[in-house]
Chain A
């Protein structure tokens, strides 16, 4: 039930590192953090690093779907890095994989 959120703000870009469990208990916090970044002016790119995420359920997938829609509306780009095989499988099954930019390797 532990959650880790680390955000770094660059000039026109935000980087978020998520870790731990993203489930029904921690999802509201993740959603709040990501939404507050997406809705900020002057930001056109958001990167989320999921390497340290140990568990994500469908509530977590829902957050990414919500963020994806918000980014499309606001004309921002959204990128997800370093998905674990389990999370990648969830992204693929739900179809989310085809709608956001995914980078498997290092985020740098």
Chain B
């Protein structure tokens, strides 16, 4: 409700203005207007305030007094709109803060650091296109110098992707203790994902296990964009072999294990489709062109190679990478 002092202030500004018509009063009115907005004073209250202020300043002709009834009715409509906008604004702020919480929670699902092993460099770049990402990766400690590595892309973005990601993460965590082979891991994940997500959602994943003593990488693919293997001796890039149904696509899916032995200076490049979906205007980068860009980063450390390629693709897409982007580089030294 309008307080007495506020009403007095209004009357004062109005009186001074009517006698002097100065800029000062207009400025005063502006400030008062801002204060009114901050106090959520409705338009119809202001109409009423003005009518009462006029009464204090002198004789108000009957037709002017009556005319306020019309103005008040109109202002009531504006007032309703004003209140509903305010309530939307509040809800919007509430959602923004919920999304910020979800983003923070999601960040906590991704590893905060990469594992360290002798004779092996690991580089990672993972960037979300929107606040909440559909890309997931993880390193899982295993026995005897081995570690598990998952890289996945969850369909869609936003909340459903974030919720699905936490399911995948916890499933990997609990299955991880059993040190399953990559094929068995994907087999179990497929059943878990298939039972728990919307029929139109799916997850593509590459799961592998790296033996840091033998420098042997055993992996299996579930509908995931193939990565690359760089053979230093030949100076060539090769597509990683292997196929298998995306997780959640079909309940009876079998996965096969592929095995690669890394020689010194060989590089494994694992990625999500945000890397291969890089778009230059309406034109998509072909895998051969990606190799061409990768070729220029050969010789750098794993992290520099990952950073270097990301910067190249960012430039190509004119700083507008549409999808979540994740690349993991493993380099035997």
Contacts and interface: CB of A to CB of B under 8 A. Distances in A.
A101 B78 CA distance: 58
Contacts of B153: 58
Contact of B245 (A58, A69, A86, A94): A94
Contacts of A86: 284
Contacts, number: 61
B246 A94 contact: yes
Interface in B232-291: 243-246, 248-250, 253, 273, 277, 284
Contacts of A92: 243
Nearest to B286: A86
A96 interface: yes
Given A31-B200, A62-B155, A93 B225 contact: yes
B223 interface: yes
B277 A95 contact: no
Q: What is the interface of chain B mostly: helix, strand, loop, or mixed?
A: loop
Contacts of B155: 58-59, 61-62
A98 B253 CA distance: 11
Most-contacted residue by chain B among A58, A98, A99 (CB, 10 A): A58
A94 B249 contact: yes
Given A57-B277, A58-B273, A93-B225, A65 B199 contact: yes
Contacts of A59: 155-156
B223 A95 contact: yes
Contact of A62 (B156, B157, B245, B284): B156
